[in-house]
Amino acid sequence: MNHFGKKLIAGLASLLALVLLALTTAFNTMDRAALAEQATPIARVELTATPAFSPETVSDDVLWLARCIYSETKQPAEQELVAWVIRNRVETRYRGQSTYRGTVLDPFQFSAFNPGSSKRRHYLNLNPTSSARGWMRALEIAHEVYHAPSHERPFPKQTRHFYSERSMVGGATPKWARGKTPIRLTGRTIDARRFRFYANIA
């Protein structure tokens, strides 16, 4: 092979090397772009953590929720379920109420807040600095339920009623619950004589 042929081959080899380098760079760029595109949906997922509970930062909504669950029961497991009933009412705008304050004070819905109730003043005066026994735990439960993701809801969103047989005079059944079947609580051990929960009550 003459000198010209060798130079031609060398030139072609150099050109091929440049083409291969350009293709490699292009593919690497495409790979990075593809990976970035695949990662974008993950980056867009909002992982909203429940804010840490602190009495100093309790919101007005959480305060009203805590007042109500504390008025209904002093047992944490029951308070959690009652809190979800109240949240369901707010989120479904039951009886036209869309705030926790409005829902709790809706006439003749929660007995402690009924007009003329001897307990009404006591529960209305509870605040984040109150020292009533078990009150701080009720505040914490209200905070947890208020900020909980919806998939943690323990029963259907239309579960907006409950009653306690023990709190009814003579253990009577309220009119709205007559002929109705309470929901079954999965993984819960709530005494039915203390609380029964109902869905789809108008």
**Count of beta carbons in the 10 Å neighbourhood of residue 117:** 14
CA-to-CA dists, residue 49 to 46, 53, 56, 108, 159, angstroms: 9, 12, 19, 35, 26
Q: Quick check: 33 pLDDT over 90?
A: no
Full-model pTM: 0.76
Q: Residue 177: which residues within 8 A CB-CB, separation 6 or more?
A: 161, 163, 196, 198, 201
For residue 36, the model assigns a pLDDT of: 43
The predicted pLDDT at position 157 comes to 98
Domain segments of the chain: what residues? 10-45, 55-158
User: How far, CA to CA in Å, does 8 sit from each of 2, 4, 19, 61, 97?
Assistant: 10, 6, 16, 82, 86
pLDDT tens per residue across span 159-183:
999 999 988 888 889 999 999 999 9
pLDDT, tens digit (0-9, with 9 covering 90-100), for 93-130: 999 999 999 999 999 999 999 999 999 999 999 999 99
